[in-house]
Structure 1
Amino acid sequence: MRARRKTLAGIAIGALALTGITAVPTAYGHGYTTSPTSRAKHCANGTVQNCGNIQWEPQSTEGPKGFPSGGPADGKLCSAGIGAFDQLNDQRGGAWPTTQLNSGSFYTFNWTLTAAHATTDFKYYITKQGWNQNAPLTRSALELTPFLTVPFNGARPGFQVSHSGQLPTRSGRHMILAVWTIADTGNAFYQCSDVRF
């Protein structure tokens, strides 16, 4: 009887160990922008309240790649089309905190990646002068040619990523949409940052 208990205990421990070894996360790449601070990161920091699930996983705004011809639907860009993160699409009457930027100057964009992934590129888009700040972000509100593209050609970035580039000429409140396109899946990560020039 004692030998049988030891055998069953051994099988149970072995099964648990095997589960730990073979468990694979369903998503391999995750990340969010820290400068300018994205809406997702503001929620995770507690700077903005009533954010829903994104406050626990700012790195998870993952949606279909191919922006701007593909990707999440208009009005759902900041949430990457994920219903559980829909609070990110709400303009909140302009109450989102902004990062102060200088028009036309050089700026360093920073990402924190919680899981690196083979990468096609990082692209940065900005709203047009005169965009509707009270409506959820749409393609018609954005300049659809990115003002900064950083190619990676399938390489894996580190866990802290920085890109420097020149900001467009703007004044007033705007939004920057940062898109991290993954090379070996059908997805990309979308981060919206509220800025003021």
Structure 2
Amino acid sequence: MKSSGRRLAAVAAGVGIAPLVTVVLPATSAFAHGYVSSPPSRQAQCAQRTVQCGEIQWEPQSVEGPKGLRSCSGGNARFSDLDDDSKAWKPTAVGQSVTFNWTFTAQHSTRDYEYYLGGKRIGVFNGRGSSHTVNLGGVTGRQKVLAVWNIADTANAFYACIDLQVQ
């Protein structure tokens, strides 16, 4: 009877501590956020092992940095592989307009989505949504588009670069 009493006390203590552990432990990258999955962004290609990359292969949704950056890594040194244009990124063949589809692992309040080509903004979409069709403005050949998801209630954004072969 003594051992069952100790087990009951241990269970009760565990139940009492569990809410504290949940509050005290920080969130990990597993609860992170979003990326362009189609056409496959560089981080999607890393996650699919199409291209050999560093840590980003485990968390393609985590390319987060301050708003206003123009880098594929979002200024995050851990994901600097994404900034390396010499890697074997596989471009997706597209026409003059392309639909970018985002995959979200955690929702955030959205300010807007921006799309850049050669440093020039080629599209902006307000509000919610996970799919945006952008006109590429007459360019052809190999191109890199930077997609930015600007969060409304923080100073951060999520970044994704997509390699395209425009017909």
Match of 1:122 in 2: 113
CA distance change for structure 1 residues 58 and 29 in 2, over 3 Å: closer, same or farther? closer
Q: Comparing both structures, which one devotes a greater share of its residues to strand? A: 2
Match of 1:135 in 2: none
Q: Comparing both structures, which one devotes a greater share of its residues to helix? A: 2
AA at the equivalent of 2:146: L
AA at the equivalent of 1:34: S
2:68 is equivalent to residue 84 of structure 1: no
How many residues end up aligned between the 2 structures?
A: 163
2:5 is equivalent to residue 31 of structure 1: no
What is the alpha-carbon distance in structure 2 between the residues aligned to residue 147 and residue 181 of structure 1?
Answer: 16
Match of 1:147 in 2: 122
2:163 is equivalent to residue 188 of structure 1: no
Per-residue Cα deviation, 1:17-63 (whole angstroms, up to 9, x for no partner): 553477563677611112221100000001111x0100000000000
State the SS of the aligned residue for 1:59: helix
TM-score by length of 2: 0.86
TM-score by length of 1: 0.74
Q: What pairs with 1:14-93 in structure 2 (closer than 5 Å)?
A: 14-16=16-18, 18-20=20-22, 25=27, 30-49=33-52, 51-65=53-67, 67=68, 71=69, 77-92=71-86
Displacement of 1:8: 3.5
Q: Root-mean-square deviation (CA), in Å?
A: 2.3
What is the alpha-carbon distance in structure 2 between the residues aligned to residue 16 and residue 108 of structure 1?
Answer: 44
What is the alpha-carbon distance in structure 2 between the residues aligned to residue 106 and residue 175 of structure 1?
Answer: 14
CA contact (8 A) 1:120 1:151 kept: yes
